[in-house]
Structure 1
Amino acid sequence: MSIVSVRRCFATKSVNKSRGSPHRWLKKADEEDDLKTRAAKEESAELREAKKRIKLLEQEAEVTRRAVAYLSRDNQPKMMFPLVLDLAADGVPVAVTCRVLNFSKQAFYKWKSNPVPVRDWEEAHLINAAINVHADDPAFGYRFIADELNAGDKPVASERRIWRLCSANGILSVIHRKRVGGRKAGPPVHDDLLERDFSAAAPDTKWVTDITEHPTGEGKLYLCAIKDLHSNRIVGYSIDGRMKASLAVTALAHAVALRSPSGTVVHSDRGSQFRSRKFVSTLHANGLNGSMGRVGACGDNAAMESFFALLQKNVLNRKRWETRQELRLAITTWIERTYHRRRRQKALGKLTPIEFETINNMALAA
């Protein structure tokens, strides 16, 4: 009951005007008013707390949404601090953004006081200088660029630092050829029986083999060749548009059909074609002994690499080959006519491989 109600009761004389009644009614009215006021205050506090919580959740959701969009751009940022500034400009507190992105406010304010470190500033100038040097001569790699930048009295930066900056910003020589990373070579299926001894006292005692490739207008063409270390003759080869195990197996079958060897050591690298089950089975079926060099040691198969270097210089690099058939014919012609019958070798006493074998076969027959 409110004070107004009490007064109305007194005015209409509808209540008992005993001595203690007004005080009791006034006290009861005050208690009712206090309960309503307290309930209203509690409800208002809960409402304010709920609104505050909803606003905080909306800010956190906005931080997450903007962070995902910020990181999905093509130019990946090195840090998230610029995003904190953008969100702060839109009314999102720094503390909320730092908590959602999981870094401290101290780190952000430290970056804000010095957003561009001295080292980054120096490297930006080095990158610009490297770009200018490379623009003058696109054939310059990082070594020449470092020499140009350090040509003054005081060195500007180390060669290693210039390499890192050029590599990160794509400042490469126009004659640079990107290395194509392949799968790690598997374990050898044979021991190294040659150990870089590429001399052979008799024919068909030591063979070396490898695979090379060359692009054409129709795609790559692969050559697997087998070389006899006694006369340096190519005793078998196979040419195909795909580098499969059958490429090496066909070359080996060609050599076996031509020479009919027995106990010959066939040395190769650790390519998957030479470790395949078909190639190993062909070796064992014809009484041949497999041999393999180490990973990444081209010197272990230097005799075959020298032949491919000659082929590269005399055939592959002479022109642009439009079709696989055109290049196949050129390779076959060069091997059978030029390399075997016309190209004299000092290691053979200035004889061709065919002449060397003919003379030695006549001596053996005699």
Structure 2
Amino acid sequence: MEDGAGPVKKSERAGEGGSLRQFRQERQYEAVRRAAEEQKYSVTEACRALHISRAGYYQWRSGRASTRTVENRRLAGLVKNIHAKDPDKGYRRIRDDLARYYGTPINDKRALRICRSLGVRSTIKYARHGCTRLASDPQFLAENVLDRQFYAEKPNEKWLTDVTEFKYYVGPSVHKLYLSAILDLYDRRIVSFVLRDANDSALVHETLDQALAADPDAHPLFHSDRGFQYTTRVFHDKLAAAGMTQSMSRVGKCIDNGPIEGFWGILKRERYYGRKFTSREQLCRMIREYIAYYNFNRLQRRLGVHTPMEVFTQYRAA
């Protein structure tokens, strides 16, 4: 989103809330001091009346920050650095980064409190507008063999595929770019992907060819929606020749292909929505770099706070 005048954002209000709470606490401590020194009240009674900690008051009077306060300030600096580098990250992913890359494990609640005090929030997910065009006259339809069993016991056991659409601008003209990808359900890695200007059969054929070239011995269950590219006899024959079983989502059931639909949402939320790409090269570079980041550097809790390629490599090593 662009900066400028307008309504105050929730993230800004959250940051202001942290400052207001600190200011209110300072006033309470000052009130206790005045009550004790000027009106001869007991510090204990004054703190009890204002519902604040007596230890906290004495810490404030000493002028020395507590160990926890110092640590929270250090953590806040790390959180700011992580958020500045990747504004799409919310408190959970920031907590995972702190533990993995900064050697600072904390729990989710503490990470959330620090993020709220700084006004740090993850990017809001936009509504998805898919580009799938169902075949009007399909040559081959497969059953939903996958049946939403979104897990696998080893790599190359189950592959999911789909196509999504991006836009870029050259002057006033709007152009489209299509991304086809194959996702492995075991480690959630992107096995192969292809970018083309046309959403056609050649796009998905090339994606499959790349995956087979990378691992000729793979014979997975191959799941897709009922897009026109996947329902041709030629594509079915390519899968059969590679020793793959074809599976297709039911009509109007996007969740049947949920994991790769989810990957589109992650990619677009973290790198595409809210930005304007002014050349094909710029958009292609973003997608290529993001997929490399996703495979090799993006931690996932469903993978035990590992990256897809770490899980894949660990299996191969074992």
**Could you state the TM-score of these two structures normalised by the residue count of structure 2?**
0.55
Residue 351 (structure 1) aligned with residue 303 (structure 2): no
In 2 relative to 1, CA 177–192 (structure 1 residues): closer, same or farther, beyond 3 Å? closer
Q: Given that residues 134 and 226 in structure 2 are in contact (C-alpha distance below 8 angstroms), is that contact kept between their aligned partners in structure 1?
A: no
Q: Deviations over 1:104-161 (max 9, x none)?
A: xxxxxxxxxxxxxxxxxxxxxxxxxxxxxxxxxxxxxxxxxxxxxxxxxxxxxxxxxx
Residue 248 (structure 1) aligned with residue 204 (structure 2): yes
The correspondence for 2:219, drawn from 260, 263, 272, is 263
User: Which amino acid in the other structure matches residue 239 of structure 1?
Assistant: L
| Residue 221 of structure 1, CA deviation | 0.3
Q: Given that residues 131 and 165 in structure 2 are in contact (C-alpha distance below 8 angstroms), is that contact kept between their aligned partners in structure 1?
A: no
User: Which amino acid in the other structure matches residue 304 of structure 2?
Assistant: G
User: Which amino acid in the other structure matches residue 149 of structure 2?
Assistant: D
Q: How does 1:263-282 map to 2 (within 5 A)?
A: 263-282=219-238
Distance, in Å, in 2 between the alignment partners of 1:200 and 1:302 is 15
| Residue 181 of structure 1, CA deviation | 11
In 2 relative to 1, CA 190–316 (structure 1 residues): closer, same or farther, beyond 3 Å? same
Q: Deviations over 1:166-199 (max 9, x none)?
A: xxxxxxxxx9999999667555521111100010
SS at match of 1:344: coil
The correspondence for 1:342, drawn from 297, 300, 304, is 297
In 2 relative to 1, CA 360–177 (structure 1 residues): closer, same or farther, beyond 3 Å? closer
Moved over 3 A (4+): 175-188
Q: How does 1:1-366 map to 2 (within 5 A)?
A: 186=137, 189-218=141-170, 219-336=175-292, 338-363=293-318
Q: Structure 1 stretch 230-239 or stretch 256-265: which is displaced more?
A: 256-265
Q: Given that residues 134 and 227 in structure 2 are in contact (C-alpha distance below 8 angstroms), is that contact kept between their aligned partners in structure 1?
A: no
| Residue 272 of structure 1, CA deviation | 0.2
Q: Give structure 1 stretches of 5+ with no counterpart.
A: 1-174
Distance, in Å, in 1 between the alignment partners of 2:239 and 2:278 is 36
**Could you state the TM-score of these two structures normalised by the residue count of structure 1?**
0.48
Q: Structure 1 stretch 326-335 or stretch 309-318: which is displaced more?
A: 309-318
Q: Give structure 2 stretches of 5+ with no counterpart.
A: 1-125
User: Which amino acid in the other structure matches residue 165 of structure 2?
Assistant: E
Distance, in Å, in 2 between the alignment partners of 1:220 and 1:183 is 19
In 2 relative to 1, CA 275–180 (structure 1 residues): closer, same or farther, beyond 3 Å? closer
Relative contact order, higher structure (CA 8 A, sep 6+): 2
Q: RMSD value over aligned CA atoms?
A: 2.5
In 2 relative to 1, CA 241–181 (structure 1 residues): closer, same or farther, beyond 3 Å? closer
| Residue 361 of structure 1, CA deviation | 1.1
User: Which amino acid in the other structure matches residue 205 of structure 1?
Assistant: E
User: Which amino acid in the other structure matches residue 313 of structure 2?
Assistant: T
Q: Given that residues 185 and 270 in structure 1 are in contact (C-alpha distance below 8 angstroms), is that contact kept between their aligned partners in structure 2?
A: no
Tell me what 2:43 maps to: none
In 2 relative to 1, CA 289–322 (structure 1 residues): closer, same or farther, beyond 3 Å? same
Distance, in Å, in 1 between the alignment partners of 2:215 and 2:135 is 34
Q: Deviations over 1:68-108 (max 9, x none)?
A: xxxxxxxxxxxxxxxxxxxxxxxxxxxxxxxxxxxxxxxxx
**Greater Rg over alpha carbons, structure:** 1
In 2 relative to 1, CA 180–262 (structure 1 residues): closer, same or farther, beyond 3 Å? closer
SS at match of 1:237: strand
Q: Deviations over 1:33-92 (max 9, x none)?
A: xxxxxxxxxxxxxxxxxxxxxxxxxxxxxxxxxxxxxxxxxxxxxxxxxxxxxxxxxxxx
| Residue 280 of structure 1, CA deviation | 1.7
SS at match of 1:340: helix
| Residue 227 of structure 1, CA deviation | 0.3
SS at match of 1:332: helix
User: Which amino acid in the other structure matches residue 151 of structure 2?
Assistant: S
Aligned residue pair count:
188
Structure with greater helix percent: 1
